[in-house]
Structure 1
Amino acid sequence: MKKLFYLIIFLNYCFLWSQTKVSGIVVDESENPIPFANVYFKDSTEGTITNDDGRFYLESDQTYDILIISSLGYTGQELELKKGANYDLKVILVEGELLDEVVVYRGKQSKKNNPAVEILKKIWARKRQNGIRKFDQYQYDKYEKVEFDLNTIDSALMESKLFKGMEFVFEQVDTSRVTGKTYLPIFINEAVYKVYGDNKLKKEKEDLIGNKNSGFSSNQSIISFIQDLYSDYDIYNNYLRFFDKSFVSPLSKTGIDTYNYVLADSTFIDNKWCYNIIYYPRRKNELTFKGDFWVNDTTFAIKEINLQVTKSANINWVKEIYIEQEFEVLNDSVFLLERDYMMSDFSLNKKEESKGIYGKRTTVYDNYEFDIEKGSSFYEVEVDPFNPVIYDRSDEFWSHHRLEDLNKDERGIYTMLDTLKTVPKFKRLYNIGSILASGYIEIDKWNIDYGPIFSTFGMNEAEGLRIRGGGRTYFGPNDMWRIEGYGAYGFKDSKFKYGISGKWLLDRKIRLKVSAGNRRDVEQIGVSLTATNDVLGRSFASSALFTAGANDKLTNINLTTAGIEFEPYKNLKFGMGGSFRTLRSALPDVFSLSYLDAESSTGIASETKQFEMNMSLKYTPGRKTIGYGVERKDVNDDYSILFLNYSAGLKDVLESDFDYEKVQLFFRKPWQVGGFGRLFTTVELGKTFGEVPLSLLSVVPGNQTYFSIFNTFPNLDFYEFVTDTYASVHLEHNFNGRLFSRVPWLRKFNLREIVGLRGVWGELSDENILLNQPANIPLIAPDDRIYWEYSFGIGNIFKVFRIDFNFRGNYLDLPGARRFSVTGAFGFYF
């Protein structure tokens, strides 16, 4: 009875929301699937093309009786549709004469004398003259709806133990109009914006005036994920960026080398004569789409377009991406974006039957106005624009501002999740997911979180096996203050370590924040050139279980810091503060931090005490954040970083040992190199003025672990090069499979090629060499010539693993020099 009940619900939804549905596969006489075959309803412009496996799904709000299937080289077929829903059709096309209706071609198409390519060239010539770019200023309303759904719902899932006690959720089951699969809505987020732009000033401002979602408003991680997942794009751009990947746009100037184009049809749409062009990729495994678009015959503006990522595209965890855009005709020469729909099918694999999650975004644009000048000051972006009223709008507000009504299923999500949050089992599942995502276990009773749980165990030469426990205050994601700390114990040195810090946000408008903390621990301090006073931060090298050579150059550190920072302009942060640290070797028998000290009875000191004042500037153009508390989360990772730091050591302050000054610069920028992947560039410069001991010098960061660690030199040992003046450059380029996709026997593995080049030059003054004579390690700087390394890497191995082969370029005659190393890393990347 239960199966019958859900079947009745399913059928009711099918007929309620769509009049005609068809799905199936198109094959030839030998049962081989026919990709890119044309499937459409007779006497309509509604159609689709089969995927790489010859499968298709098509639905319409209208009632149609005839389905036409055709492809070049085959005799087309007309199928009678006897029901509103016709699933799992098998269509066999026979080689032979073509019907007049055939509009889709297979195989490579010529670039010369191709009418579709000639139309494409006219689109390129006019793309900057279409839409809102034709006006000096523009403004419009924007409504955005994001929904997540469990898909491929079947009776086995409905009856599984996972949903025991929560069976009522299946009352919301519906069928996707794109894939034909059943799905269960589980989350919806709505947002309303007012958008302003000035083409002369090249500025745009987007004001959020309303936001609402079904049950996760307090979860910053989910909201951040949504915003990063569905960034805006312009189909006229050469490349469209989704999931950190650059897909070649079918309207790109490089499109003719990437896609096959066919002029398929022409007809009136909204009283405008339009051409229909079908496109599909020339090669497999590249980041490409398949689909078609309708373009006006006079303005050569796009009227409608759909894009579907090919199944062979080198992208992880995403089985399908489907995009539709519709443009309204404002007048004879202006076409404006009216509706944008995007659907992604997230799944562990790309098998047809695999279950997953749909992510769907619908954006509607309306109420366009033009040439209303606002002035440059209007576009200044607030540092912290949070307004709690935005997240608590009335039902009347949403009724008025929704540019597209919610359907019955979408309205039901709010009710369903309100009920679901009262179910204890759902709470437990939600908490498990939250722990895995954040690394913290919430203890609501005391408003604290325990964790991070992934730092519980560690090991090094000084401590042996190390256990750690910690926590933080947590009243909510937007707390104005937070205290966090940890305690750790090493079983080899039998010593207890700890760290504690606190931070308070005093003024949200300029992000005025004060912080202070203290830490006593064992640390590998030679793993970064640019200074940091992060009290609770700890390098991976400090606890590496396996290392190349002895991991014995560790330091006992007692660090106390206090600071203040503020952000007067968005993404421009100033900071100032002070620190006092005591540094001595954790293994003095094998690693010495001793230096000459005339005031010592022995003439040698093994411990450094140092008070330091510092001022810093951090500029992160393009950085997007979410949250308004003392801690915020980044939404994107494609922004540049410029960091300047000035430090001054003050002798005799709190018994401090040295006077010195230090200037440092750090610059990092990611570059999206079109369809050739992503390049990361990092530059670091620094100089220390004055005489300082080894513990305060700038150590070129080596890497004795077997893990690939950002901004280190994997073929250098810790403290192999020591400097007081340095310049370092790191280049790493990920081709995202662009090269491997051209090798037939490698294509199916979807591997990604990575190349790296890094170098450092530095010097060490004679005074600093003399001061550090008692140290028992050679003090060498790469001043004779630039030290450099290069590497070749293979990423996306089993979708989660990367391996790098690292080669040392010079200084091969140094004792123990490592000419070659292999490092690896795990990660989940699209």
Structure 2
Amino acid sequence: MIKNYKPVKSIGLAIILCLGFVLQTFAQQTIIKGVVKDAVTKETLPYVTIFFNDTKIGTQTDLDGAYNIVTSANYNSLKFSSVGYQAIIKPFTKGTSQTINVVLQPDAQSLSEVSIIGGKRVKYRNKDNPAVELIRQVIANRDKNRLTNYNTVSYKEYEKMVFSMSNLSEKFKNRKIFRNYQFLFQEQDSTLIGGKNLLPLYIQEKLSEHYFSKSPEKNKTVILGEKQVDFDNRYIDNQGMKAYFGRMYQNIEIYDNNISVMSNEFLSPIANSAPTFYKYFITDTIKDQIPNVIELSFTPRNKADMLFEGQIYITMDGNYAVRKASFGVNKNINLNFVRALKIDLDFEENTDKRYYLSKSNLLADFGISKNKGLGFTGERSVSYKDFNTNITLPDTIFKGKPVEQAVGATTRTDDFWKNNRLDSISPNQLKIYGNIDTLQNLPSFKKTMQIVTLLFAGYQNFGPYEVGPVNTFYSFNNVEGFRLRIGGRTTPELSKRFYFENYAAYGFKDEKWKFFLSATYSINNKSIYQFPQNYIRASFQRDTKIPGQELQFVQEDNFLLSFKRGVNDMLLYNDFYRLDYVKEFENHFSYALGLKKWSQSPAGGLSYQTFNQQVLSNVNQLTTSELSLHLRYAPNEKFYQGKIYRTPIVDRYPVFNLRYTAGIKGLLGGEYNYHNIMGSIDKRFYLSQLGYSDVTVEGGYIAGTVPFPLLGIHRANQTYAYQLNSYNLMNFLEFVSDHYASLNIDHNFNGFFFNKMPLISKLKLREMVSFKALFGGLRDENNPALNQNLYQLPKYETGAQRTYALSNTPYLEGSIGIGNIFKLLRVDVVKRFNYLNHPEVSEWGIRARVKLDF
């Protein structure tokens, strides 16, 4: 006992001594806080420089003029200074906690160019402002300081991304559900984000070599190593998650006019138009570096706009290059869920005395509540080394794809990563790989993921077979009445080559069974739901369909789409026999070949009628046989692969579609010969502070004489949901064409106007406008009024015309909407501008759309 007692006593004594030393240290600390205001206007002053007198140790006031500074050194006074104000020195008492509020007097000499009107606040102006003159020099020299100004560039890049649940309380950590998961939790760095605990969920590392040639312009990236947490693909799309995070956390290029962060475009503080939207202040001159560096602080003129705030450090050697930058966003910004955002950029001097980015770090914390509660933290750091410029790069480097993976890049050993990382990585971060693997093997976690997948993806997994989607189990319409459906599909656990899908449905009003069966063979031995697809599929479907409705991301028997306005009793009973081949390439070009036999029968208020010896007679069934080719090219496309569809991650790159369909009379009972060509281009245009526009241009032409069910039936919407690609005040089957062109513009101002309105700005609302124009018509051979051999266009029971051809006047529709209501709801007031004399149409309507935005 005595032998064991002494060490314990010694350890206890050491702890007491250390504790005493710490307490003594804190006892000697001086803590000073306060607010700095303008002596004339009483407005708080941001970015006031505060130093301990005769030192360069200090801080700055924030946007609300507040400051907080702590020291244990033997100082006794603070110096407050700001451009345009007289500096002031304030003494303080050492070793105490105290509040020192300060008012600064405007400097009459420094403010000779500033107008003071009626005793009101000092007006900020760009004219004769030295800070603005400095930033204009930076803008003028911007292109000279870009990497692309070199003839050739090569460098290595190491990227690390870590994502965690953050701001977790001890109570949350100790909940029963986490009883088996305590090994996952880590201590949180409270200096970055508040709270005590982190729950790391994801880590990704990548090492690459980059090559650039200016003339001719060529780029090449070789991925030397890539490593990430791999989740079970039954629940999470790993590649889609990586693509989504990559879109949210892109490279920060301060020399670009716009910087993409969190899927939004922010105006760079050194963009051409930056002085119009930012205020600049010279807050310090750092003379202990060669060349000298000026600290330039900047803040948005409007705190809710998509703009940054922070500091950039400019070299005073004639290059006006960015030496360093540290910035984030204002707490009042119209950016959803973002509680904190911090970006740090460090630059190193090249051999030619210019500067290149050596490290960037982007940290973002998300949460429902702005200040407290559970959150989600993502951090991306990128380091650059081995920077070489204007060297000879052989042409062989640029051969092949622009981005290639080195052999074995995804199977690198721990020793490889240990020897080749360009930045440090903490032991806690390395633990994430093993922790997540352990987590996924716990039975309780698997059960939890099954429940989550059922709720969000709509499928219940039973190993080789999964049942769903649940949102189609129940729906209703005027023809089928109450409709029940049950079905599912096989998974790769059954086979990686063969996939089967099926469902059965029953309508209680029409008392008819509907069903679907498909068999798919994967040619590349990969899941047919993963990119790139390469498969052949045979299917048969007997089901109902609204004429002309081709909904891309939802099923027509979706419960939420059962609620419709107006008269909507037109339906088709269809038998589809299909054989399809789909081939996708890594460059996101794809083609699909198809053979389809389609038998359709009208139901409800829809009938197919033709004249037979001047007497109208009903046609019970129309059969066509088609060969089709669909070409699609979506350069740089990224998407998240869900259980039943892909969710595109919209970016600035266009998407091209071209579809050709040939109807062949006599093939498998086909009744008509025709050729149908359709093409479209979709693109998002970013307009900096004015938001962005999603633009779709589409056109089609049908050659041949065909009845109206085979014409272009324009996408109408009789639900109460706002649909981006449909005409929201057009009735089903209201317009048909054999040639048409359309333009669809949907613009989101991102709160540009609402942000500037008092009180309203606090709601973080966003303005939307849309405009849709449809040009089209029917040639004489396809107009039933001129060709009685064709099916007559549908009419209401009253005899009023129901379906029309477009005249020389295009169909026009527009809307004005308010978005970001409760951060997820968009409501539009829609106006139909013409063709108002048609029966059962409305000139005005209100539509809503649910979409989660950042």
TM over 0.5: yes
Matched with 1:4 is none
| Cα distance in 2, alignment partners of residues 132 and 366 from structure 1 | 14
Find the aligned partners of 2:627 and 2:32 in 1 and give their Cα distance.
70
The structural deviation recorded for 1:373 is 2.5
Counterpart in the other structure of 1:290? 309
Give the alignment's Cα RMSD to 1 decimal. 3.9
C-alpha distance after superposition, 1:592-632 (max 9, x if no partner): 1344589x999642211110011222121232368999998
**CA deviation vs aligned residue, 1:25-68 (integer Å, no higher than 9, x gap):** 744699x9957345777588787655556677899xx9978796
Number of the residue aligned with 1:806:
830
CA distance 1:358–1:494, change in 2 (3 Å): same
Partner SS, residue 396 of structure 1: helix
Q: Is the 8 A contact 2:167 2:193 kept in 1?
A: no
Residue 821 in structure 1 maps to residue 845 in structure 2: yes
The superposition leaves residues 500-523 of structure 1 with CA deviations (integer Å, 9 ceiling, x where unpaired) of 334444359996443332221111
Equivalent position SS for 1:196: strand
- Cα 1:49–1:580, aligned 2, differ >3 Å: closer, same or farther? farther
- Contact between 1:317 and 1:348, CA under 8 Å: does it hold in 2? yes
Structure 2 residue aligned with 1:790, among 814, 823, 847? 814
Native 8 Å contact 1:523 1:542 kept in 2: no
Which residue of 2 is the match for residue 776 of structure 1?
794
Change (3 A) 1:377 1:189: closer
Counterpart amino acid of residue 158 in structure 1: K
Aligned position for 2:155 = 140
Contact 2:146 2:255 in 1 (8 A): no
Query: Post-superposition shift, 1:128?
Result: 1.3
Residue 401 of structure 2, aligned match among 346, 368, 381:
381
CA contact (8 A) 1:794 1:803 kept: yes
Aligned position for 2:628: 614
Alignment of 1:311-330 (within 5 A): 311-330=331-350
Q: Report how far residue 426 of structure 1 moved.
A: 3.7
Unaligned runs of 5+ in 2: 1-14, 115-120, 796-800
Task: Confirm or deny: 8 A CA contact 1:556 1:583 kept in the other structure.
Answer: yes
Q: For 1:346-745, what aligned pairs fall within 5 Å after superposition?
A: 346-350=366-370, 352-370=371-389, 371-375=391-395, 378=398, 380-381=400-401, 389-444=408-463, 446=464, 448-475=465-492, 482-507=499-524, 512-528=534-550, 538-539=555-556, 544-567=561-584, 570-587=587-604, 590-595=605-610, 604-624=618-638, 634=648, 636-745=650-759
Letter of the aligned partner of 1:710 in structure 2? L
Counterpart of 1:3?
none
SS of the counterpart of 1:398? helix
The 3 A distance-change label for structure 1 pair 594 and 692 is same
How many angstroms apart in 2 are the aligned matches of 1:790 and 1:701?
15
**Residues 271 and 28 of structure 1: is their aligned pair in 2 closer, same or farther, counting only changes over 3 Å?**
closer
Match of 2:248 in 1: 229
| Amino acid in the other structure paired with 1:574 | Y
Give me the whole-angstrom Cα distance separating, in 2, the residues matched to 1:91 and 1:747: 32
> Given residue 251 of structure 2, which amino acid in structure 1 is its aligned partner?
D
Cα distance, 1:46–1:502 mapped onto 2, change above 3 Å? farther
Q: Which whole-Å CA distance do the structure 1 matches of 2:29 and 2:212 have between them?
A: 41
The residue type equivalent to 1:463 in the other structure is E
Deviation at 1:93, TM superposition (A): 1.7
SS in 1 for 2:722: coil
Task: Give the letter aligned to residue 761 of structure 2.
Answer: R
Return closer, same or farther for 1:417/1:687 CA change in 2, 3 Å cut-off: closer
Partner residue of 2:3?
none
The size of the alignment, in residue pairs, is: 791
What is the CA deviation profile of residues 331-386 of structure 1, one whole-angstrom value per residue up to 9, with x for unaligned ones?
Answer: 35321111000011111131x22331111111111112233334388254279x67
Greater shift after overlay, 816-825 or 635-644?
Answer: 635-644
- Which AA in structure 2 matches 1:95? V
- Per the alignment, do residues 807 and 636 of structure 1 end up closer, same or farther by CA in structure 2, a change over 3 Å counting? closer
Relative to the length of structure 2, the TM-score reads 0.84
Per-residue deviation, 1:703: 1.1
Q: CA deviation at 1:758?
A: 0.8
Query: Which of 95, 118, 126 matches 2:133?
Result: 118
TM-score (norm 1): 0.86
Change (3 A) 1:68 1:431: farther
- Structure-2 separation of matches of 1:497 and 1:412: 52
Change (3 A) 1:257 1:29: closer
Question: Aligned equivalents of 1:356 and 1:315: distance in 2?
Answer: 15
Q: CA deviation at 1:391?
A: 2.5
Deviates more, 1:621-630 or 1:732-741: 621-630
Q: Shift in Å at residue 549 of structure 1? A: 0.7
What code does the residue aligned with 1:373 have? L
CA 1:467–1:510 in 2, change beyond 3 Å: closer, same or farther? Answer: closer
Tell me which residue corresponds to 1:86.
none
SS of residue in 2 equivalent to 1:272? coil
Letter in 2 for 1:822: I
Matching of residues 114-263 of structure 1 within 5 Å: 114-170=129-185, 172-179=186-193, 181-186=195-200, 187-216=202-231, 218=233, 219=236, 220=238, 221-263=240-282
- Output one character per residue of 1:216-256: Cα deviation in whole Å (capped at 9) or x when no partner: 38542432322222122311112112223221211112211
Write out per-residue CA displacement over residues 53-90 of structure 1, whole angstroms, 9 at most, x where no aligned residue: 6677899xx9978796857579566879979xxxxx88
When residues 816 and 389 of structure 1 are mapped into structure 2, their CA distance, relative to the original with a 3 A threshold, is same
- Contact 1:662/1:687 (<8 A) preserved: yes
- Structure 1 range deviating more: 240-249 or 650-659: 240-249
Alignment CA distance shift 1:775-1:783 (3 Å): closer
Deviation at 1:91, TM superposition (A): 4.4
User: Hey, what does 1:93 align to over in structure 2?
Assistant: 101
Q: Kindly tell me: are residues 79 and 232 of structure 1, through their superposed partners in 2, closer, same or farther at Cα, counting changes over 3 Å?
A: farther
C-alpha distance in 1 between matches for 2:350 and 2:93:
39
Alignment identity in percent? 26
Distance 1:638 1:761 in 2: 27
Contact 1:619 1:642 in 2 (8 A): yes
Cα distance change on mapping 1:236 and 1:198 into 2, 3 Å = same
- Give the secondary structure class of the aligned counterpart of 1:400: helix
What does the per-residue CA deviation read over 1:614-668, in whole Å, with 9 as the maximum and x for residues that have no partner? 1222121232368999998755544311111111111111111111111111121
Per-residue CA shift, 1:676-715, capped at 9, x if unaligned? 1111111111111112222211112221111011221111
- Following the alignment from structure 2 to structure 1, what is the Cα–Cα distance between the partners of residues 230 and 670? 54
* CA–CA separation in structure 2 for the residues paired with 1:325 and 1:21: 32
Cα distance in structure 2, aligned partners of 1:442 and 1:667 = 37
Secondary structure at 1:311's aligned position in 2? coil
Q: 3-state DSSP class of the match of 1:313? A: coil
- After TM superposition, give the deviation of residue 484 of structure 1 in Å: 3.1
SS in 1 for 2:720: coil
Mean Cα deviation higher: 391-400 or 627-636: 627-636
SS of corresponding position for 1:586: strand
SS at match of 1:399: helix
Change beyond 3 A, Cα 1:783–1:375: farther
Residues in 2 aligned to 1:573 and 1:240: alpha-carbon distance in whole angstroms:
31
Q: Please say which of residues 467-476 and 820-829 is displaced more in the overlay.
A: 467-476
Moved more, 555-564 or 368-377: 368-377
SS of 1:139's equivalent in the other structure is: strand
| Residue 820 (structure 1) shift | 0.8
CA distance in 2, matches of 1:386, 1:597: 67
